[in-house]
Amino acid sequence: MPENDAEIHALFANAPTTTQFKKLRKRIVRNTREAVEQYGMLEPGTKWLVCLSGGKDSYTLLAVLHELKWRGLLPVDLLACNLDQGQPGFPATVLPEFLDRMGVEHHIEYQDTYSIVVDKIPQGRTFCALCSRLRRGNLYRIAREQGCSAVVLGHHRDDILETFFMNLFHGGRLATMPPKLLNDAGDLFVYRPLAHVAEGDCDRFAKAMGYPIIPCDLCGSQDGLQRQQVKQILDGWETTSPGRRQVMFRALMNARPSHLLDPKLFDFTGLLRNSDKLAELPDPR
């Protein structure tokens, strides 16, 4: 890190100077850079719509992308965006005031999707799926209007693991949030640059920086959601076997189709013994 971190961006003003924090920050930057490069997110000269909810993850995303840009490692324009979905009690002034104070280029938009969700979802059912679809549709529209090539989200390593196990336990498929995705219309990328970053690191970073965290339970999210249940399972495994999350995450990067059961990914019927291959060779005479 440079001697004068304040030169990077106002987002890093008053950053702690402890060795522990510097190591944390360096690890987050390194992990993010690895994901950006490994999954081919770099398109010099393009513009990214960086989605900011006000949670610890999106603040971490915003800060680390600005640091990478300052270091010349991210040659793209960044536009922070908050979509106010009309949840009761949402502190609408917190993010615009923070972004103005930090000198971050941003776009704030109000769309009352909360009322739609409450109207469509029966009492006692979870809001998350419909809320997410409505949010994503609006973000795609905003990205197009603002001339952006990608919608950038703050999902981290633990989000990706939890989604994998939710699909495994409840969806009957091996799938998760990919670090890079092309939307259905084929005109926008969806990036998750924090794919290699642990949730605990995001939490420690945002708290140490004193960012104004907005809680994610404003919509009255119900306890006992599938994601919370999976999180508790993973927490238990991590407690009894520290490092288990990282081992499982590495497994997602080391898939072996021949050792799974999907015939669409591997040609089991075409698999031949050496003797069978020899028998198929033409007679040299």
**DSSP 8-class letter at 73:** S
For position 200, what pLDDT does the model report? 96
* Whole-angstrom distance, CA of residue 142 vs CA of residue 80: 11
* Whole-angstrom distance, CA of residue 30 vs CA of residue 71: 12
Model confidence band, residue 244 (pLDDT cutoffs 50, 70, 90): very high
Q: Please tell me the total number of residues recorded for the chain in this structure.
A: 285
Instruction: Please write the tens of the pLDDT for every residue from 18-67.
Output: 999 999 999 999 999 999 999 999 999 999 999 999 999 999 999 999 99
- CATH no. of 5-280: 3.40.50.620
Plot region of 180 (φ>0 → left; ψ -120 to 50 → alpha; else → beta): beta
Domain positions in the chain: 5-280
Burial class (CB in 10 A: 0-12, 13-18, 19+), 89: exposed
The residue among 159 and 87 whose pLDDT is bigger is 159
The residue among 226 and 219 whose pLDDT is bigger is 226
* Whole-angstrom distance, CA of residue 152 vs CA of residue 99: 17
For position 119, what pLDDT does the model report? 74
Q: To 5 degrees, how large is the angle CA 208–CA 96–CA 101?
A: 60
For position 59, what pLDDT does the model report? 97
For position 3, what pLDDT does the model report? 46
Q: To 5 degrees, how large is the angle CA 276–CA 281–CA 285?
A: 140
* Whole-angstrom distance, CA of residue 203 vs CA of residue 197: 11
